[in-house]
Amino acid sequence: MPPLRTALLQSSGRPGSVAANLDVLEEAAAQAAASGARLLVCPEMFLTGYAIGDDVARLAEPADGPAAEALAATARRHGLAILYGYPERDGGRVHNSAQLIDAVGGRLANYRKTHLYGEFERERFTPGDRAVVQADLDGVRLGIMICYDVEFPENVRAHALAGTDLLLVPTAQMRPFEFVAESVVPVRAFENQLYVAYVNRTGPEGPFDFVGLSCLAGPDGTAAARAGRGEELVLGDVDPRVLAASRAANPYLGDRRPGLYTDLTG
């Protein structure tokens, strides 16, 4: 099975303008596809911008809304899958969500952020209630979570136990928490024996200053690809053969003693 070339779009796009962000994504998709990528991952809330205040509710769309249709067309044009962050409207509720579109425009999976960070998010979003959402792409099992979710070790371990090979984490990670991108994410990949694509916004936006540092972390605990602080498209390969060899050599999951951990469910 060939490696899954994955493109990480580190960008804050154009906050407040869905049309402009669709244009940014179109250009990134063309560049990613020309570089051999079969998957493009965008940051948290890429469709609308993150620090947009009450416009979150105004710009929220259902999972099958106009933006999803536009993104499906982009995916078909360039022949690659796309994961994008957006505010999802479901009746009277709004979720901080990420949706995966396949290379022929089908909607593969939709994930709602389960751990909301800070007053800004808790005032505007309803948390999701499914920790593990997965989809298969070109023989690789993908899992999805968003930003703060990856900082809870139980979350990532649940994905490892469910067979996730590549965990996609669109994020809006800000100063002064650079250590999450630099240290926590590679450790999560190592201790759970999977790849993690952590894709961040960058630069100042409202009261926040996003730090970039997007990465594709491998099961050896190193970043196979790493962005700097500015807008950038980074590519890296998710290699099933490397993953299988690493899992065979690393005993973490097999050496677990779940009976000792029952207190952790409290």
- Which residues are 216's β-sheet partners? 197, 225
Which of 112, 110, 108 is closest to 138 using CA atoms?
A: 108
| Annotated catalytic residue, options 44, 61, 88, 121 | 44
Q: Is 147 a catalytic residue?
A: yes
Q: Is 215 a catalytic residue?
A: no
Tell whether omega for the bond before 176 is within 30 degrees of 0, i.e. cis. Answer: yes
What are the structure tokens assigned to 219, written together?
């099961």
3-class DSSP state for residue 57?
A: helix
Burial class of residue 41 in the structure, from the number of CB atoms within 10 Å of its CB (0-12 exposed, 13-18 middle, 19+ buried) = buried
Q: Which uninterrupted H or E stretch holds 25?
A: helix 18-34
C-alpha–C-alpha distance, residues 100 and 42, integer Å: 10
Structural contact between residues 116 and 172, judged by C-beta atoms closer than 8 angstroms: no
Structural contact between residues 100 and 82, judged by C-beta atoms closer than 8 angstroms: yes
| Annotated catalytic residue, options 113, 121, 205, 215 | 113
The number of beta carbons lying within 10 Å of the beta carbon of residue 143 is 26
Which of 41, 264, 44, 266 is closest to 153 using CA atoms?
A: 264
| Annotated catalytic residue, options 42, 61, 147, 215 | 147
Residues labelled as active-site residues: 44, 113, 147
